[in-house]
Amino acid sequence: MMNARRSLKQHKQAGVSATVKEIRISGSGGQGVVLAGIVLAEAAGIFEGKYVIHVQDYGGAMRGGAVRSEVVIADEEDDIEYPAVLNADILVAMTQAAANKWTASVKEGGTVVYDSTNVTKTPSSAAKTYNVPLTRIAQEKLGTTLVANIVALGVICALTGVVSMDTLSQALVKRVPKGTEELNKKALQVGFEVASRM
């Protein structure tokens, strides 16, 4: 335990290398938070050849309980000093509870995307914040709220360039259920286009 504490302390003191990106996607069970994290991690790791750590936390319940998916992406293996998100570069908060809990963990100048369908009170932050009705967009543009998570991936891709749309799309079609590939690719594109106009 002492070693873990020392590592955490050293990580906080040293800060994170500019070649490392820490991303947290958070919401509730049933919103596809974990899938979004896996797709992002595989886009960076498998298709872009970067070093990646993916961590997921389901909280107390699978559906309706708090869920988060964390991805750490680095150009070099040694750049990852701690295997979890501590000071996020990017946060996606799909519920009010997620926004309240995790906004303060985003570094100054980072990027926060709130699903404004569900987040009505945005906490103050030194990060760049974007209120995007992810769930409403998914329903209105694609006919289902089930792809709001993929709309979110398109949004953060456009806003941050953390991975390319090409690799994100490749990872997506390898992960989503057979028969839903086109729907999910459309969701990704819709998110990218919405963010590109912001």
pLDDT tens across the length of the chain (198 residues): 323 333 433 444 344 446 899 999 999 999 999 999 999 999 999 999 999 999 998 765 556 689 999 999 999 988 988 888 999 999 999 999 999 999 999 999 999 999 999 999 999 999 999 999 999 999 999 999 999 999 999 999 999 999 999 999 999 999 999 999 999 999 999 999 999 998
Amino acid identity, residue 146?
Answer: L
| Dist CA 192 CA 198 (whole Å) | 10
What is the gyration radius of the CA atoms in the chain, in angstroms? Answer: 16
Considering the domain boundaries, does residue 7 fall inside one? Answer: no
Q: What is the pTM of this model?
A: 0.89
Q: What is the CATH number of the domain that holds 135?
A: 3.40.920.10
End-to-end CA distance of the chain: give it in Å, rounded: 45
Task: Indicate the number of domains in the chain.
Answer: 1
Considering the domain boundaries, does residue 11 fall inside one? Answer: no
Considering the domain boundaries, does residue 1 fall inside one? Answer: no
Domain hosting 169: range is: 17-196
| Dist CA 76 CA 128 (whole Å) | 27
Considering the domain boundaries, does residue 4 fall inside one? Answer: no
Q: Which stretches does DSSP call E strand in 18-135?
A: 20-28, 51-57, 66-74, 88-93, 106-115, 128-132
Considering the domain boundaries, does residue 10 fall inside one? Answer: no
